[in-house]
């Protein structure tokens, strides 16, 4: 393990200037740029510029009055300021022009967008692939009943821009995997409010691997927040400097599992019916298609089968939201926990962008089940991390091991948590999970002996495109 002494600090030089990436933007955002007020800089001082629309909130746009409380922290230095911090016009300008990406517009995302807009950040993008469900309305306060069925990112962006003149939020209704590196390279800070381990692993790998020490502008701090009921956490990931998300994968809560015999024969809970439909029935009906928890069509099919099963055994309570929660292993969210964790993440973004106070080093956990308890500590880097370290995995297997059996061994490893690994050597593709044409070409290799493709001690590159994982595997035969 590698430990850093003292709190980690991030300079404005490390964050870099905005890159020339050209993001794909939602039409709502581009139209709104003409109708919303922006803060412009004049000789290093922010000044208000009015757009075409009247200000429904009657907000005082004089920056010295409007941001008086925010400027308290950056108009003067103090004992907690980072070494080299210089208060004044330049740091104010960077704050108002700092480009932020928020990933997720759900429980955490709604809080984050509101907090960031009210802290002086005026250029924000938000990505979310979900639409608004009626079950979201009890805690995702930017949405109303009339918004059900609409994209979360679009509605959240419009709501905040209407309430906070001067901020421009560009929404993207898509998956994070749909954006290329040029898109991510334009941001100064990336804040994650995701409900999926797989999505966190993908964005972590993408941003960490994008960093090139010879080009400081490629350094993009990640602030990650997560909640589980009355528990939550926030953390800062400095690519190649501090522990990345993959380094602490073994800390993740293990998914809830149900006995297979109960699911198949004697279901007693609505969750048992959903597991029966998703784990047992789906592979029978669609053997070549993986169940996608983000696909409404897939979830509707599981819901119908689960409801039929529940009716057969007189079990009430099978709903769409519960089906989604079981398939994606979503833990019910609590509004107060979301607010606390989002506040922590937004505060860290402010500290990183201004350097008025040292950023957290580097993980904060919150427990609110029996009071209010927080604890901050430093997560250590794993030198064998497959993302930010130099992962080298050694396996000793019988000489009769097939390619499929090796893949099964890798899938069973809790320290890797692979989803769809591909195997290749320097000279040949052993098995490729994607694209489809390569998968079909290498599928016959699965039943063949591994030693027909890999010699003793030869390096095998194991990749998982869905998670952005790549590691070196060395096989010996016994």
Q: Mind telling me the catalytic residues?
A: 261
Provide the Cα torsion 15, 16, 22, 26; round to 10°: 40
Phi-psi domain of 466 (left: phi exceeds 0; alpha: psi -120 through 50; beta: other) = alpha
Token representation of residue 351: 């500290």
- The answer to whether residues 7 and 31 touch, using CB atoms and an 8 Å cutoff, is no
Length of the chain: 478
Give the single-character DSSP code of 267: -
Q: What is the CA radius of gyration of the chain?
A: 24
Is the four-CA dihedral 31, 36, 37, 38 of positive or negative sign? Answer: negative
Q: Is 103 helix (H, G, I), strand (E, B) or coil?
A: strand
Strand 429-431 to 422-424 pairing: antiparallel
Distance CA 231, CA 368 (A): 6
Distance CA 353, CA 349 (A): 6
Q: Is 204 helix (H, G, I), strand (E, B) or coil?
A: helix
Strand 99-103 to 123-127 pairing: parallel
Strand 459-464 to 422-424 pairing: antiparallel
Distance CA 59, CA 50 (A): 11
Bridge partner list, 227: 232
């Amino acid at each position: 393990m590698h430990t850093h002494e003292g709190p980690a600090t991030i300079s404005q030089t490390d964050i870099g200037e905005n890159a020339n990436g050209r993001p794909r933007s939602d039409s709502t955002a581009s139209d709104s740029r003409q109708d919303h007020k922006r803060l412009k800089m004049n000789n290093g001082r922010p000044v208000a510029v009015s757009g075409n629309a009247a200000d429904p909130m009657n907000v005082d746009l004089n920056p010295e009055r409007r941001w008086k409380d925010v400027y308290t922290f950056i108009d003067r230095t103090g004992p907690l300021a980072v070494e080299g911090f210089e208060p004044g016009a330049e740091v104010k300008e960077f704050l108002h022009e700092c480009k932020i990406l928020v990933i997720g517009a759900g429980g955490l995302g709604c809080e984050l967008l509101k907090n960031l807009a009210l802290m002086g950040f005026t250029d924000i993008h938000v990505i979310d692939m979900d639409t608004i469900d009626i079950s979201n309305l009890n805690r995702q306060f930017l949405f109303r009943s009339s918004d059900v069925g609409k994209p979360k990112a679009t509605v959240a962006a419009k709501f905040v821009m209407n309430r906070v003149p001067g901020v421009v939020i560009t929404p993207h209704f898509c998956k994070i995997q749909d954006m290329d590196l040029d898109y991510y390279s334009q941001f100064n800070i990336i804040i994650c409010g995701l409900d999926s381990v797989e999505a966190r692993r993908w964005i972590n790998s993408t941003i960490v691997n994008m960093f090139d020490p010879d080009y400081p502008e490629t350094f993009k701090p990640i602030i990650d927040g997560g909640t589980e009921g009355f528990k939550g956490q926030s953390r800062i990931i400095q690519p190649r400097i501090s522990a990345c998300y993959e380094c602490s994968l073994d800390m993740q809560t293990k998914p809830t599992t149900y006995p297979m015999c109960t699911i198949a024969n004697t279901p007693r809970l609505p969750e048992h019916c959903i597991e029966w439909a998703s784990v047992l029935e789906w592979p029978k009906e669609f053997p070549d298609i993986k169940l996608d928890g983000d696909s409404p069509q897939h979830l509707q099919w599981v819901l119908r089968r689960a409801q039929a099963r529940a009716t057969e055994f007189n079990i009430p309570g099978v709903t769409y939201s519960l089906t989604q929660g079981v398939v994606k292993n979503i833990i019910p969210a609590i509004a107060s926990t979301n607010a606390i964790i989002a506040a922590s993440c937004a505060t860290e973004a402010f500290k990183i962008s201004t350097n008025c106070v040292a950023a957290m080093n580097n993980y904060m956990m919150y427990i609110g089940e029996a009071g209010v308890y927080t604890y901050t500590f430093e997560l250590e880097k794993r030198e064998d991390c497959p993302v930010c370290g130099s992962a080298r995995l050694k396996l000793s297997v019988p000489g009769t091991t097939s390619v499929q059996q090796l893949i099964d061994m890798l899938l069973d490893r809790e320290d890797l948590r692979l989803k769809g690994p591909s195997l290749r050597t320097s000279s040949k593709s052993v098995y490729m999970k994607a694209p489809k044409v390569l998968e079909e070409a290498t599928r016959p290799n699965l039943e063949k002996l591994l030693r027909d493709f890999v010699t003793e001690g030869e390096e095998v590159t194991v990749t998982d495109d869905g998670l952005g994982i790549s590691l070196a595997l060395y096989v010996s035969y016994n």
